[in-house]
Amino acid sequence: MRPAAPSPDPAYERGGGGSHGQQSLFVKVYMEGVPIGRKLDLLLLDGYDGLLAVLGRMFKASIIHPDTVGRDHRVVLGEKQARHVVTYQDQEGDWLMAGDVPWELFLAGVKKLKIARVDSSISD
């Protein structure tokens, strides 16, 4: 019988802080009002559009790009208007809006994601 393969480097599963050469970059994703978070491998995605699409399907929510908040442009899903944006916690513990930095910088600094409800006074 063959010996078990060594366990992968803990950085592969540590949930943030991307670096080049990684095979996966799992982060926890939380949505306001949902008690249980989920895990997502960001390296399987090709950018913010893919991230928003996957999160929208995962949480059955309509999510808008942060640059559309406050404009008259809204994403409509059935009778509901999109009322969620994606924020992320960086390595320093600060919460930022996903999409504010290029995708590669986002991958290098993201620790966890949160889908936040947009204040209705902002989007109305």
The CATH number assigned to the domain holding 40 equals: 3.10.20.90
pLDDT, tens digit, 9 for 90 and up, residues 50-63: 999 999 999 998 88
On the CB side of 24, how many CA atoms lie within 13 Å of its CA?
Answer: 12
In-domain check, residue 40? yes
- Per the structure, the complete domain to which residue 52 belongs is given by 25-123
Domain tally for the chain?
Answer: 1
Q: Assign 106 to helix, strand or coil.
A: helix
pLDDT, tens digit, 9 for 90 and up, residues 58-115: 999 888 877 655 554 444 444 456 589 999 999 999 999 999 999 999 999 999 999 9
pTM: 0.69
In-domain check, residue 80? yes
> Residue 58: what residue type?
M
* Partners of residue 41 on adjacent β-strands: 26
